[in-house]
Structure 1
């Protein structure tokens, strides 16, 4: 189970259409967009996520008032934070290896995702 979970965490999907390159993780989270307007696209994405957040909070308000849900939520959030920190560290290592290879060889090699 752990090997399968680890393998899933390493999966990256890359799509390129009309010069726009998008990378997603195994859970379909947007990791990067490469295009001339990259900063604007990512800012719009973050704004959309922020826009939906209060709507989700309102929809779950009654459930979150339940003490049983609160205990489960606390555990889940702590575990999610740990998993996200591990994912960020793995991505940092992949990025460093990619950069090292680029500068050592003078060319870009596709990462081993």
Structure 2
């Protein structure tokens, strides 16, 4: 699964696009402020739209993710509960498979750490 994400070009492409938008918007704004005699009245509008385009994109992405969760008929908190149950079921099924193999009921790969469990805050 990591190999599929490694060759994905979408993230650098979107990042480059937003970088160009912010740079072009800044250029329009600087040109409007420092050279007012030869600038057009639409320069500040274009500058703010270009500079705000990443914010608009992330806001629309957030709204889409919220709407997508409610469209399925479940609240976002319920979706997290479902994924927790699936993780618990996978752990339970792994324990059942290890007991079927005759491994003495304990799988050496699941919970076999001998290190003490300490909260992260107290270990720092």
TM-score, normalised to structure 2, is 0.29
Name the one with the larger strand percent: 1
- Structure with max Cα Rg: 2
TM-score, normalised to structure 1, is 0.30
